[in-house]
Amino acid sequence: MPAVSVVIPVYKVEPYMARCARSLFGQTLEDIEFLFIDDCTPDRSIEVMRAVLEEFPQRKEQVTVFRMPRRSGQAAVRMQGLALARGEYVIHCDSDDYVDADAYAALYGKARAEDLDVVTCDITVEQDGREIERIDGECTSVARMLEGRERWNLVSRMVRRPLCAGVAAPAADMGEDMVISIQVQLKARRTGHLARPLYHYCIREDSLTRREGREDRVARRDSLMKNARLVAGLLEDRYGYAGDEPEIVRFKYKCRESLAPLVHIPEYYRCWKETFPEVDRRFLSLRNCSLEEKFWFTLIHLRLYRPAKRVTDWFRNHRRSDS
């Protein structure tokens, strides 16, 4: 049994594959397996990975390439990776990103030293080769994950593999890491955090999460809502939540956010209203939401989000230019 299994989804990442593969094969942790899950990628991503692997002959026996029988999407690919994993711990790495050379040795070392079920790290966000943000990856509670105050990224979360057994599969590709991470966190006995940005998330303007068209926003909302409904159901059926806890109400409301800029259009306003409508009667009374969030909630209901956003952006830019 290897110490760590790394699950790497592969689909249309040819320009980024070499960088990712070198960062993986160059890990200082020797006892590791790499599971490349080929989601029927139409480009040369796998060939690029194999070419890089020639630079690391000692890693060849540690690499498995599994080709999905058909294009299946991110959620199914992640679940396939978990099914194949044999390691004591498992973690994911997206193939358009990369990791520090000692990332998995550092996470595994902390997990073993402190007998942790889950250990997380920070994330560096990069664009055009430049660092633009550092994300605190610490996770302390499911409630804070639901409220959006703590991250549910799988790529910065090393998990003791038995915790992944029996997790319900995500229902869609947007928010698939949320579905898995929340279930794992609910099972975890001990968690820890390594306050180092070991994972490098590289922004791609062509990715689904970056597209700003109307249809793209609605597609993200529909996909996220499927997974949010799944999580809400699991919390009630398996873990004894009543469904009206403040963190769950806030969680449901956050699923609407991608539609906020479109509520001036009647069909998208209806779509926004139909996304967990039970939230409306409770949101303004929540103590775990700021006055600013409640302000924007009210403006959206009045379909004034767009003009208000323009005004606030203008003032923000004006102050920045003055300084």
State the pLDDT at residue 74.
Answer: 95
pLDDT tens sequence for the chain (323 residues): 999 999 999 999 999 999 999 999 999 999 999 999 999 999 999 999 999 999 999 999 999 999 999 999 999 999 999 999 999 999 999 999 999 999 999 999 999 999 999 999 999 999 988 999 999 999 989 989 988 889 899 999 999 999 999 999 999 999 999 999 999 999 999 999 999 999 999 997 665 555 567 788 888 888 988 999 999 899 988 888 888 888 988 888 888 887 888 888 898 899 888 888 988 989 999 988 889 989 999 999 898 888 888 888 877 776 655 55
Domain ranges of the chain: 4-202, 212-322
Sign of CA dihedral 48, 101, 191, 97: negative
Residue 37 neighbours by CB under 8 Å, 6+ apart: 7, 8, 9, 10, 66, 68, 77, 78, 80, 81, 84
Residue 124: phi and psi, rounded to 5, are -95, 125
pLDDT of 66 reads 98
In three-state secondary structure terms, 28 is coil
Q: How many CB atoms lie within 10 A of CB 295?
A: 11
Question: In this structure, are residues 8 and 93 in contact, taking their beta carbons and an 8 Å threshold?
Answer: yes
Three-state DSSP class for residue 281: helix
The predicted model scores a pTM of 0.90
- Report the top-level CATH class of 4-202: alpha beta
How much is the pLDDT for 193?
Answer: 97
Phi, psi of 211 (to 5 degrees): -70, 135
Residue 164 near residue 101 (C-beta atoms within 8 A): no
Q: Which residue has the tokens 């070392």?
A: 109
Q: Which residues contact 13 (CB under 8 A, 6 or more apart)?
A: 20, 41, 43, 45, 95, 96
Per-residue pLDDT, 231? 92
The DSSP code for 168 is P
Distance of CA 203 to the CA centre of its chain: 13
Q: State how far the Cα of 259 lies from the Cα of 300, in Å rounded to an integer.
A: 10
The pLDDT assigned to 42 comes to 97
- Asked whether the beta carbons of 191 and 237 are under 8 A apart, the reply is no
Helix runs in 28-147, H state only: 45-53, 74-84, 103-114, 142-146
Residues near 201 by beta carbon (within 8 Å), at least 6 away in sequence: 94, 97, 123, 124, 125, 126, 135, 155
Contacts of 202 (CB under 8 A, 6+ apart): 16, 96, 97, 98, 126, 127
